[in-house]
Amino acid sequence: MSVAVAASNLRKRFISYERVGFIRKRKIVVEALRDVSFNVKWGEVYGLLGPNGAGKTTTVKILTTLLIPDSGYATIDGHDVVREAHLVRGIIGLVLYPDKGFYSRLSGYENLAYFGRLYGLNKSMAEARARELMKLVGLENAMNRPYEEYSLGMRARLAIARALIHDPPVLFLDEPTIGLDPVSAREVRELVRRLRKEGKAILFTSHNLWEVEEVCDRVGIIGNGRMIIEGSPRDIKDMLGLKYVVEVEVQVNGRVETIREETSNPADALRRVINNAETRGLRISRIRINEPSLEEAFVRVIKDEGK
């Protein structure tokens, strides 16, 4: 897969002030990003993870031309996000605050048609695209309801529809499921998978690590403004040496006992445990393999970074 989004050695600092006593203030330099580099490929969902204040949103804002980096560079489909910002804006879709930026008294359909006109579509094309997207995100039955009557889940899906109004090849979804109920969050995940199948490049941020593991092909974990580790969820777990847990329940003299083994190779461990049980003449009643979660990996990485 070729590269759609490329970030190289991005650095960004902010100046802040904290109060010292009742009158005086002290200047603080916050290193938001320190040489962050990664890429997102076409047809891939890339998860950018990190604790609050790690630099995720700053990274997204730089890649979407909302902030200028102090140093380093980034490209979207080969276009520099600083020198060719006008071109970049035409090929990206952004969901930054899912419930912001809409007109409350317009319907969902009218909002989308309006944004379509802002992107240069003529009236008939904007209206057709709005109808198409309302169906795509499952809001066709709420097309004519005022936006102010939409639930948070409906607003999140409409925000994704707005990001797609000009059919951009690259999407940035910054916590698109935050605050959503399980049904709405699942619908958003299914939509993300569908868009990936269409070949779009998607950068996805979320604090729901189970969700990230479900939808992301690769993830990068950043902390204190720098990229700490990167790879597929499975690769990251292996790099950290996280173990599977193999549990086999057996019948012993009418009682149930559990044989438990931690391993990096569950297939071999399971084969070994089963052979051992059969050699002893034990009847196996249940087998369970627990895979380490991305959440475990994330906690390990962030704790190690803080040492």
pLDDT at 1: 62
- Domain regions of the chain by residue span: 3-239, 244-291
Residue of higher predicted confidence among 229 and 136 = 229
The answer, yes or no, to whether residue 98 has pLDDT greater than 80, is no
pLDDT in tens, 203-214: 999 888 989 999
Q: Which CATH superfamily is domain 3-239 in?
A: P-loop containing nucleotide triphosphate hydrolases (3.40.50.300)
Compute the mean pLDDT over every residue in the chain, rounded to the nearest whole number: 89
The answer, yes or no, to whether residue 72 has pLDDT greater than 60, is yes
Query: 307 pLDDT band (50/70/90 cuts)?
Result: low
Report d(CA 186, CA 165) in Å as an integer.
Answer: 22
pTM value is: 0.85
